[in-house]
Amino acid sequence: MRIAELGRRSGVPVPTIKYYLRAGLLPPGELTSPNQARYGEDHLHRLRLVRAMVDVGGLSIAAVGEVFAALGEQRKGVSGALRTVEAAVTPVPEDLDAEAVALGVAFLERQGWVPDDRSPAFRALVGVLGTAREVGQEGFADLLDGYARACLGLAEADLDYAIGDGAEPELDQALERVVVGTVLGDAALAAVRRLARREVAIRRFGHAEDECPRGECAGDGCAGESGVVENGAREGGA
């Protein structure tokens, strides 16, 4: 297809596609004349990956370039590639507060996890702990053990998804799934966490008068559970 069709099918404006080509995020098309090129389904797929990382993940063009470079370095194996991809998609603070580092190290020790004071994820976590202390929310660190328990289960499922159910993962596809799972997974997890918190808040506190999610009650709370309110009694409430 020509670049105009690539633009139509991907929803990405042609000038933007040209910019991605110049930045090396898309391989060049096959030249059919000195100033015209043909593009294939691979280009369309790659273009959608770029948009997923930019639009959903908020990645910079430079970071997307690093991710694609990491995808090319297959010799690193799955855990090495994970580290490179995560370095590209994780904003890392420059200066770390020593007390926050100690909190982070203690967190890893409590979980019995491999120590990892160089990784972007660890440094990002320490940055959050430092900020929490600065705003007077020292207790925030106590939530992390629960996060760790929840995330171990998620990690098993994420990895199962990335490697498929074959005995040997196909590294090419696995790494692409790691990228998608990391970038889209962050966004999906944040969204699901909010939906879950709203659900739990409605179950505990009811909801404001003007926003009954079912349009069924007069503001004194209605069932958040499976939607069954019998005889006006709230089921399973605290």
* 43-72 positions binding a second copy, by CB under 8 A: 45, 48-49, 51-52, 55-56, 58
- Least distance from a second copy to the Cβ atom of residue 113, Å: 5
Q: Which of residues 4-43 bind a second copy (CB under 8 A)?
A: none
| Residues in 98-137 that interact with a second copy by CB under 8 A | 108, 111-116, 119-122, 124-125, 127-129, 131-132, 134-137
Both tokens of 70, joined, read 């990491």
DSSP labels, 61-99: HHHHHHHHHHHH-GGGHHHHHHHHHHHHHS---SS--HH
Residue 71-90 contact track with a second copy, rule CB under 8 A, x = bound? -----xxxxx-xx--x---x
Cα dihedral 98, 103, 106, 110 in deg (nearest 10): -170
Rounded to the nearest 5°, which phi and psi values hold at 225? -65, -115
SS3 of 5-53: the string is HHHHHHCCCHHHHHHHHHHCCCCCCEEEECCEEECCHHHHHHHHHHHHH
The only residue of 151, 171, 217, 229 in contact with a second copy, by rule CB under 8 A: 151
Burial 188-209 (b: 16+ CB within 10 A, else e): eeeeeeeeeeeeeebbeebbee
Q: Between 32 and 109, whose beta carbon lies closer to a second copy?
A: 109
Contact status: 181 vs a second copy (CB under 8 A): yes
Cβ at position 76, least distance to a second copy in Å? 5
Q: How far is the CB of 18 from a second copy (least distance, A)?
A: 21
Minimal distance, residue 32 CB to a second copy, in Å: 27
8, 22, 110, 197: residue in contact with a second copy (rule CB under 8 A): 197
Distance of closest approach, residue 46 Cβ to a second copy, in angstroms: 10
